[in-house]
Structure 1
Amino acid sequence: MKFTGRPIRIAGASGSASDRRHAIAEFARHYETDPVDVIIADFMSEFNMGSNAGRRVDQAENGMPAYDLSFLEAVEPALNDLAKYGIKLAVNAGVCDTKGLYYVVSKMVKSKGLDLKVAYVTGDEVLPAVQKALSGGQSEFRNIYTGGKLADWDFEPIYAQCYLGGLGIAAAFTEGADIVLCGRVSDASPVIGAAYWYHSWQRDELDKLANAFVAGHLIECSNYVCGGNFTGFKSLEQGGDGWTNIGYPIAEISAEGDVIITKQSYSTGGAVTVDTCTSQLLYEIQGPWYYNSDVTAILDGIHFEQRGINRVALLGVRAGPPPPTTKVGITARGGFQVEAWWFLTGLDIEAKAEMFEAQIRRLLAPHANKFTSFKFDLLGSSLPDASSQNRATVPLRVVAQARLADDLGPKKFAKPISDNIMQGYPGATFHLDMRQAFPRALFEYYVTLLPQSSVQHRVHLPWKPTARTQILEIPPPTLTKTYPSRQPSQAVTQTDKPIDLMNNFGPTVRGPLGWIVHGRSGDKGSDANCGLWVRHRDEYLWLRSLLSIETARELLGDEARRSPPLAIERFELPGLQAVHFLFRNLLDRGVGVTSTVDCLGKNVAEYIRSRHVDLPTRFLNRGKL
């Protein structure tokens, strides 16, 4: 079936398993005043891929589901309106047990007496394919972040998932599916699949696919593109629901691949602007080449244009063939972690922390040789002459990891730490809730590449009359391109002659970079990606000249002073007036096992924006962010 006359409207109703639960039902309920054709929702992350992999492997013993339970809470109140209005739904809530989720959703649909056809997509579970290729010497399965070989990894793989493209979803819709349940499809694949189905695109229409791919990443994180996690958040406070109910996005994609990003028309807070779209895009990317199993989007010319209130056009995306490989996340049991929190108040915070650390290291010395990680982190600083005791108080976090839970048991961590209070620093106080001081399981996550030809991408259509028609095979792409293992990077801006910042931009004043510079960062495995951008063209000339790789290293502070030095990659996006950095392995070993509090890397940009530099006063005269 080919739809003509208007673009498809795709709603982004969830950005993670931690999102609010109401958006699927809300989009469906408001169909008559704000129609959408397809609702997509993202429930997966590298963290719940690892934790649910453990549940899946242990399922026979513990009976715990390895799909996302919050999806069931979100979809149940929406089902009647999905059926009433013929709205399609595609989600990756299957996580590590998509077939199991299918049975639960089918039962839910049947209990309501609805005629909704539920399909599910498989092929993302690839541990046997990885093991076969490894034992046969067909691949070393190099870690895309560290470069290490899988055979040298210190952990035993228990599960592996690859990232599937969107054509299985498209095929399911073409065959009449109303709801398509997936596991690890890429975050943008539901949008690619929906647009491909609606407009009857072909695989070789790469420009259209690339635009749908970028549109998918703009809306798959739900509120982010509407003002969530946005450094211009203060501008969103006034009007309507302001901060209290940030709205959810809609992508309008034409048959030609043109994209408009908008949001719910009914009363919600937030906004869709050039800056909110820039923020979401910069958070997702790691370089000018943006890979998917169906297409590669080339972003060096990307830009946005405001087309009205809460309407932004996506422009300048170019396309290349997809790579012959797809990303694979391999999970292993990584040991256990414990932590404890203490509070320090008022004067001599640094000295108090030093005293505490010296005492605890001595108390735990008999056990610390079994620790694989052992850190003390002072979080923040006390305000001078603070207006309240709480504002003069700083938390101190102690965290330890070990391979075995017994090596972190109460007698080897929690008890010695709490027993230190009588000889402690002035005002020594620990957090009364000690649950984090008891071992919790960690899951290591190793990211590599697998040929798409090794993946059995299948769509299951259980309502079909025969076994032969119930499964569709989705072949890998025939046209692919092998890209360099590292993205293009430039250490400094490329200009005809060096720019003297003081002379070219006038008088300066010392202050936080974030007074005039937006920022957004996030995690990709153990890497942190960080985009910084400005509002005006002359500010961009200053920003790209200021932000060299070496300046970025200085702004990162102690985190960048490593041996060997932290690897940093940099590229510019002139259309977005942005400079983007990839900080290699900044985030320890990834969200599932990191010992840092910024487990998702979202505060990397906020820290950089807080660092002081020489700011041209003429930029400040335009108003601070």
Structure 2
Amino acid sequence: MTGPLRIGNCSGFYGDRFSAMREMLDGGRLDVLTGDYLAELTMLILGRDRMKDPQLGYAKTFLRQARECLALAADQGVRIVVNAGGLNPAGLAVKLRELSGELGVAAEVAHVEGDDLAPRAAELGFGEPLTANAYLGAWGIARCLDAGADIVVTGRVTDASLVVGPAAAHFGWGRADHDRLAGAVAAGHVIECGTQATGGNFPFFTEITDLSRPGFPIAEVHQDGSSVITKHDGTGGAVTVDTVTAQLMYEITGARYAGPDVTTRLDTVELSQEGPDRVRITGVTGEAPPPRLKVSLNAVGGFRNEMTFVLTGLDIEAKAELARAQLEAGLRTRPAELTWTLARLDRADAGTEEEASAILRCVVRDSDPDVVGRAFSNAAVEMALASYPGFHLTSAPGSGSVYGVFTPGYVDAAEVPHRAVLADGSTVDIEPSGESRALEEVAEPRLPPPLPPGPTRDVPLGLIAAARSGDKGGDANIGVWVRTDDQWRWLAHELTVERLKRLLPEAAELTVRRTLLPNLRAVNFVVEGILGRGAAYQARFDPQAKGLGEWLRARHVPIPEELLP
């Protein structure tokens, strides 16, 4: 098979645009339609669903989308591959078979399982988490498709596996085809988050003519592993080298992008604009995967509550200090964790009351729901007539809510029973890769020659640099890239770990790692521990670090005048 395989995406997270599945099926030709519904936080949500009802644990949204679109997909011969099975892929497969019978649609439904390690968590040294799921690879998906499945649902596979599996099945790739597999991983990584590849959350968004409703992305994967990223004609958004770079830089840790089937060398990726809304990905090389699989561990950490005080006008610092002292004195039992954050959003001589106000947040956590419940929030309300002038809160008192804790784990691939459950009910065991390679840091590439000295201006970094940031457990990544070779010569020398820590004081005391990606004119930073114990822990007001890159772009640095627009 030498023609490209057109693989579309219709979901980047659990809660994405509901109509996207129909839009993708109506919009033009596809061979395969994928959907990514899982994230570290989603696994916690599904785990709590399963606690309430053991029959749940899958993404219910997908089942409703299938009700609308199953017949359309069958008529067009589009195969569907999604990770919407979550913690219960077998249960979702049963529901899909019932649905296809009810609708009178002939659809062979298969699923992939074995990732759920919760029953064996203690035995594997993971304690007793709410969820424990190993990241499986693409070969179970490929086996289901080889056996004729029209729909494949999985649990926790790597996001890119939704693309790699169909490509491997279509082209007949083998386990040792590391470069081809790595090329498909790159394509899968680009389209896995839906419209983030077509202009969504894009730093230079004002350059895109129509962002009212960006189209979802398509990867045209070729037999050699190269691909073209595109979208249906007539849809909003744009596919450019920059929008594709933005997604390539999302939630990565370094030059080696490890997976269960292949380790993709992100430092080999080459991008080129092939035409309007068409970006070609070439040159990607791969290596044998590491011997261990990553495991996503989610546990209930305890109970959390917060109250937010509004401080207006003069003496903001003194007002904040009074509020802190009064609330802490009024608590009968001090919570295990109590943290204060003052956000100085106020302006001098403001024209509106809101612009004259700062925000003071108090967040508490404890294993006892009563300690952080009404006893805490009522203590804040009781201050209303006895505290700083202009006292008011942003919410009424309330009870505490459960918060989650994410921990990454690792397990030998041989310990994980990767199984393809075919449409006829038979099972096929998928063996782990026969070849593995321990992960190691890539040698730092040679820096480009620095720019000659010249006049500079103190302006926002974002005038010439783009950025994309996101969460990786308790860590965050910030990918930064520029558009010209001269800008790259400046960025590679200027944006060091030390400079980043000065620009982002929240990272000053944390470990920060930097990776240069010259092919993309990019530098990636991993800020360790800035998100505490994961997104569900809500250590920061931006718990998934979505705005961290935009904060960096807004900071002022001395940029050579010759580089400025």
Normalising by the residue count of structure 1, what TM-score does the alignment of the two structures yield?
A: 0.87
What is the alpha-carbon distance in structure 2 between the residues aligned to residue 349 and residue 316 of structure 1? 56
Q: State the partner residue of 1:440.
A: 401
Is structure 2 residue 243 aligned with structure 1 residue 243? no
Which of these residues, 318, 334, 337, is aligned with residue 304 of structure 2? 337
Among 71, 75, 78, the alignment partner of 1:87 is: 78
Checking the alignment, whether the CA contact within 8 Å between 2:2 and 2:222 is kept in structure 1 is no
Residue from 362, 372, 377 that aligns with 2:341: 377
Question: How far 1:75 sits from its partner (Å)?
Answer: 2.4
1:607 counterpart residue number: 551
* Structure 2 SS opposite 1:70: helix
> In structure 2, what residue type is equivalent to 1:26?
E
The answer to whether the 8 A contact 2:307-2:395 is kept is no
Equivalent residue, structure 2, for 1:346: 313
Query: Match for residue 481 of structure 1?
Result: 437
Q: Displacement of 1:488 after TM fit? A: 4.1
Deviation at 1:334, TM superposition (A): 0.8
Contact kept in structure 2, 1:489 and 1:570, CA below 8 Å: no
For 2:378 and 2:130, how far apart are their aligned partners in 1?
33
- Structure 1 portions without partners, runs of 5+: 135-149
- After TM superposition, give the deviation of residue 352 of structure 1 in Å: 2.6
After TM superposition, give the deviation of residue 426 of structure 1 in Å.
2.2
- For 1:170 and 1:226, the matched residues in 2 are separated by 27
Determine the structure 2 residue equivalent to 1:19.
Answer: 16
Q: Which runs of 5+ in 2 are unaligned?
A: none
Q: Is the contact made by 1:217 and 1:284 (CA closer than 8 Å) also made in structure 2?
A: no
Deviation string 1:183-226 (CA, Å, 9 cap, x unpaired) is 10111111000101111211111111000011101000000011
Is 1:73 the equivalent of 2:60?
no
The alignment yields a C-alpha RMSD, in angstroms, of 1.9
What amino acid does structure 2 have at the position aligned with 1:447?
A: P
| Matching residue of 1:257 | 225
1:596 aligns with 2:540: yes
Is 1:535 matched up with 2:501?
Answer: no
Quick one: which of 356, 371, 377 aligns to 1:407? 371
**SS, match of residue 283 in structure 1:** coil
1:429 to 1:223, Cα distance in 2 relative to 1, 3 A: same
Structure 1 residue identity aligned to 2:94: Y
Structure 2 counterpart of 1:356: 323
Task: Verify the 8 A CA contact 1:295 1:321 in the aligned structure 2.
Answer: yes
**SS of residue matched to 1:405:** coil
User: Residue 128 and residue 440 in structure 1: after superposition, are their counterparts in 2 closer, same or farther (change >3 A)?
Assistant: same
Pick from 449, 453, 456: which aligns with 2:410?
Answer: 449
Matches within 5 A, 1:79-118: 79-118=70-109
How do 1:109-508 and structure 2 match up within 5 A?
A: 109-134=100-125, 156-236=128-208, 238=209, 242-266=210-234, 268-364=235-331, 366-368=332-334, 371-411=335-375, 413-434=376-397, 437-462=398-423, 464=424, 470-484=426-440, 487-488=441-442, 494-495=446-447, 499=450, 504-508=452-456
* CA offsets 1:55-91 (integer angstroms, 9 cap, x no match): 324535xx7x211122223222111111101100011
C-alpha spacing 1:617/1:342, structure 2 compared with 1 (3 Å) = same
Q: Kindly indicate whether the alpha-carbon contact (under 8 Å) linking 2:43 and 2:131 is maintained by their aligned counterparts in 1.
A: no
Aligned length: 565
Distance 1:440 1:374 in 2: 15
Tell me the distance in 1 between the aligned counterparts of 2:77 and 2:312. Answer: 59
SS in 1 for 2:370: helix
User: Which residue number corresponds to residue 137 of structure 1?
Assistant: none
Q: Distance in 2 between matches of 1:157 and 1:432?
A: 32
* Offset from partner CA, 1:415-446 (integer Å, 9 cap, x none): 00011111222221112444xx4211122222
Q: Structure 2 length normalisation: TM-score?
A: 0.96
8 Å CA contact 1:8–1:37 kept in 2: the answer is yes
- The one-letter code of the counterpart of 2:89 is T
- Between stretches 122-131 and 209-218, larger displacement belongs to 122-131
Q: Percent identity?
A: 36
Instruction: Label 1:428 to 1:305 Cα distance change in 2 as closer, same or farther (>3 A).
Output: same
Q: Equivalent residue of 2:42, what SS?
A: helix
2:50 corresponds to which residue?
56
Separation in 2 of the partners of 1:336 and 1:613? 41
Give me the whole-angstrom Cα distance separating, in 1, the residues matched to 2:181 and 2:446.
31
Give the 3 Å change call, closer, same or farther, for CA 189–423 of structure 1 in structure 2: same
